[in-house]
């Protein structure tokens, strides 16, 4: 018996990183999977986004667990694309129970005036809202929505320092803070329908979003082109626990819990998996 037997779970940003990990953990617990990813570049990004091969790899790993998966290329900025995948999923699996709006970017290259701010808000805030909007007409009592925020986005001055002079870092913080408020406001409206909505705010997580030069520079502002080796000794300063980052599966375990009926009376929560990072800020001891 899995904890998610007979449930159908949709995950955005599922081609790699946390999204792939969520797809695998949810499948391990018996869910059928709908995996969405853009699998294409966004101009203001300084690091590459996922590829069609990455999404195919997620599908392969879910299928190896004996669970069905519908994997589709779609851009969370385009609500019509999301609606089309949701309709296909409901036609194929007959229902939709779990939505994990995880897709996100942290861009740092302004092509035109504040274009990285526009891109990050489009993906990390409107992309979340589009995903939820596409799913809502198909959700019934017992359904659970989980959206991804960020602990770093909550800490003043932190992501703002990613590539100073570009607007993507401050845009990231704005988008993630708005996601936190969105969860509280909408969860109250969904509660009478027994549909739940919660956010998870990870700290540094071992994915390509963390491992790129712009984020490294936020931790090593003294270097023009910091490498992973340069950043590693500085990364633990973020957390209260002496670790550089968490693993994607550390988030996936909470996703499974929030997706399952075990958390049936939890809603409107902004939950951190942050190894004490926010506590350091609250107590004013951030490096």
Ligand X SMILES: NC(=O)c1ccc[n+]([C@@H]2O[C@H](COP(=O)([O-])OP(=O)(O)OC[C@H]3O[C@@H](n4cnc5c(N)ncnc54)[C@H](O)[C@@H]3O)[C@@H](O)[C@H]2O)c1
> Which positions touch ligand X (CB under 6 A)?
12-13, 15-19, 37-38, 49-50, 75-77, 102-105, 123-124, 127, 148, 150, 152, 202, 204-205, 207-210
- Report the C-alpha gap between 179 and 37 in whole angstroms: 20
Rg (CA), the chain: 18
Whether the Cβ atoms of residue 202 and residue 208 lie closer than 8 Å to each other: no
Evaluate the CA torsion angle 269, 275, 278, 280 in order and state its sign.
Answer: positive
| Residue 15 vs 59, nearer CB to ligand X | 15
Q: Residue for token digits 């159908």? A: 8
Nearest-approach distance from CB 233 to ligand X, in angstroms: 17
Nearest-approach distance from CB 168 to ligand X, in angstroms: 11
> What number of other Cβ atoms are within 10 A of residue 188's Cβ?
12
| Residue 186 vs 205, nearer CB to ligand X | 205
Cβ-proximal residues to 199 (8 Å cutoff; 6+ apart), any chain:
146, 147, 148, 149, 179, 180, 183, 269, 270, 271
| Residue 30 vs 130, nearer CB to ligand X | 130
Nearest-approach distance from CB 171 to ligand X, in angstroms: 12
Strand partners, 201: 272
| Residue 63 vs 247, nearer CB to ligand X | 247
- Report the C-alpha gap between 149 and 104 in whole angstroms: 9
Using CB atoms, what's the residue nearest to ligand X? 104
Query: Of 47, 172, 174, 216, which one is the catalytic site residue?
Result: 172
C-alpha pair distances (Å), 81 with each of 46, 72, 91, 127: 25, 10, 16, 11
Nearest-approach distance from CB 192 to ligand X, in angstroms: 28
| Residue 4 vs 125, nearer CB to ligand X | 125
172 is catalytic: yes
Nearest-approach distance from CB 258 to ligand X, in angstroms: 15
Residue 263's region, left for phi above 0, alpha for psi from -120 to 50, else beta, is alpha
Identify which of 127, 35, 158 has the alpha carbon closest to the alpha carbon of residue 86.
35
The catalytic site residues sit at: 172
């Amino acid at each position: 018996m899995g904890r998610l037997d007979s449930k159908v779970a949709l995950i955005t940003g599922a081609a790699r990183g946390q999204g792939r990990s969520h797809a695998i953990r949810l499948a391990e617990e018996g869910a059928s999977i709908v995996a969405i990813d853009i699998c294409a570049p966004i101009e203001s990004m300084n690091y590459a986004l996922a590829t069609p091969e990455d999404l195919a790899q997620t599908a392969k790993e879910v299928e190896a667990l004996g669970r069905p998966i519908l994997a589709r290329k779609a851009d969370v900025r385009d609500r019509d694309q999301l609606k089309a995948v949701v309709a296909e999923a409901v036609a194929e699996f007959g229902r939709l129970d779990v939505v994990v709006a995880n897709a996100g970017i942290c861009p740092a290259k302004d092509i035109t005036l504040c274009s990285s701010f526009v891109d990050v808000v489009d993906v990390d805030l409107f992309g979340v809202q589009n995903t939820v909007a596409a799913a809502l007409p198909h959700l019934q009592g017992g359904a659970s929505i989980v959206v991804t925020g960020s602990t770093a986005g909550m800490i003043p001055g932190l992501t703002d320092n990613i590539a100073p002079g570009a607007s993507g870092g401050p845009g990231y913080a704005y988008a993630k803070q708005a996601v936190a408020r969105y969860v509280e406001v909408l969860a109250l409206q969904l509660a009478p329908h027994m549909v739940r909505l919660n956010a998870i705010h990870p700290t540094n997580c071992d994915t390509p979003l963390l491992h790129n030069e712009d984020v490294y520079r936020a931790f090593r502002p003294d270097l023009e082109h910091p490498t992973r080796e340069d950043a590693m000794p500085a990364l633990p300063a973020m957390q209260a626990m002496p670790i550089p980052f968490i693993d994607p599966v550390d988030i996936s375990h909470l996703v499974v819990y929030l997706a399952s009926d075990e958390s049936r009376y939890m809603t409107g929560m902004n939950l951190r998996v942050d190894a004490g990072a926010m506590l350091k800020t609250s107590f004013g001891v951030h490096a």
